[in-house]
Amino acid sequence: MRRRFLWQSAAVLSAVATAPMVHAVTPTARLPFPDVTPRRLVFPRDHGAHPEFRTEWWYLTAWLQRGPNTPPMGFQYTFFRSRTHHAEDNPSRFSPRQLLFAHAALALPEQGRLLHDDRVARVGPAGVAFSRETTDLRLDGWRFVLEDGNRYSGSARTKEFTLSFTAQAPSPPLLRGQGGVSAKGPAPHLASYYYSRTHLPLVLTCQPTGAGRETSGPSALWAGRAEGLAWIDHEWSSSLLATGAVGWDWIGIHLLDGGSLMAFRIRSRDQQPVWQVWEMHDAQGRLQPVARSPGGGPAVGWQPTQIWESARSGGRYPVAFAITLGHRRFEIAPLMVDQEVDARASTGGFYWEGAVTLLESGTLIGRGYLELTGYAQPLQL
């Protein structure tokens, strides 16, 4: 889901979208955004951007190994697109009709903190662009590209590290919800187009830059090569959160038996679930049956077992859970507790996005990512 979902703060959009225009234009009403309606997703076209919709993201997360004597690490790489309320026929070439955001993060346990950087710019200037035909995103030297329908590559240079990666998709996209339409609430307009690509072998290379160049001591930044499995979510929508909802909890897990698990719950202000989804697929990509509640939703419970409080944002995040699904019980445990993303300079506010393990009856059964939003402040689309 997350994606994964874009929670742009009003401050960020107002600062960019209300910038003075070179040409005077007649004020117009707020632009309508299209609703998500059932349709067949078509590839490679739907790997590309859908600029008529309000928000969109391409979200890559990975759990990686760096060698036999080095702890595992987490990796997050994300591009967001946002359509503003500026009319497409605005004559100014400076009009911010579309915005691009990008995030890159490394979760290195030996650092004890998340290394994170981000970018934001309006689409149009050289080097800030997206493609409607396939995944091809470029922002200030950062790139995220899909070649031949199955091979992803990306690169980014941040204030602390420079990285590049390749990932090969072994299977077709996994359509979420009903044929790629993922409901986010009881109203028909509360939905997104959503597909995942899981179990992508990924190779990452990283080198320190700038503030990360210290070469010895506990603050030395890791440099080298890491390999593991990546998960990519691509999602686009115009409306995601019902009135009164403040955020969501989401997990995407590669199961050790070759299957996958995606689940999310959208929460109210009193932290109660207002909508939840649970999708488990086996190694052949077949959707597995899930115990249902009397209301028709998944019979699932999320019980926090560890709360971590951020000194930066004041957010209190449930970084570990006991999850019950029918007669089954799972435990989610973080690679490290401080995996909070400070996105105030781009998409706005704070959220927690971290590498986690999944256990059942104390036995490791999977690795992946947990996303927690709306804990430091309510999300705003």
Residue bearing the bigger pLDDT, 291 or 178:
178
Tell whether the model's pLDDT for residue 92 goes beyond 70.
no
pLDDT of 28 higher than 50: no
Q: pLDDT averaged over the chain?
A: 86
Residue 4 lies in a domain: no
Question: Which CATH number do you get for residue 139?
Answer: 2.40.370.10
Question: Would the pLDDT of 18 be above 60?
Answer: no
pLDDT at 381: 55
Per-residue pLDDT, 6 = 43
- Residue 352 in this model has a pLDDT that exceeds 90: yes
User: Is 308 inside a domain boundary?
Assistant: yes
Q: What is the pLDDT of residue 86?
A: 60
Q: Is 358 in a helix, a strand, or coil?
A: strand
Supply the pLDDT for residue 3.
Answer: 45
93-134 per-position pLDDT tens digit? 555 789 999 999 999 999 988 999 999 999 987 889 999 999
| pLDDT tens digits, one per residue of 65-74 | 998 888 999 9
**Tell me: the pLDDT tens digits for 162-215?**
999 999 999 999 999 999 999 998 888 899 999 999 999 999 999 999 766 665
d(CA 186, CA 190): 7
* 260, amino acid identity: S
Residue 181 inside a domain? The answer is yes
149 lies in which domain range? 10-27+37-372
Alpha-carbon gap, residue 137 to 147, rounded angstroms:
12
Residue 3 lies inside a defined structural domain of this protein = no
CA distances from 93 to 96, 122, 332, 346 (A): 8, 11, 48, 22
Q: How many domains does the structure of the chain reveal?
A: 1
Q: How confident is the model at residue 87 (pLDDT cuts 50, 70, 90)?
A: low
* Secondary structure of 127-195 in HEC code, one letter for each residue: CEEECCCCCEEEECCEEEEEECCCEEEEEEECCCEEEEEEEECCCCCEECCECCEEECCCCCCCEEEEE
pLDDT of 101? 94
* 266 falls within a domain: yes
pLDDT mean over 358-370: 96
pLDDT for the residue 27: 38
Chain center to CA of 253 = 13
- Please check whether residue 378 lies inside any domain of the structure: no
Residue 299 in domain = yes
Least confident of 26-30, 290-294, 352-356: 26-30
Let me know if residue 381 belongs to a domain: no
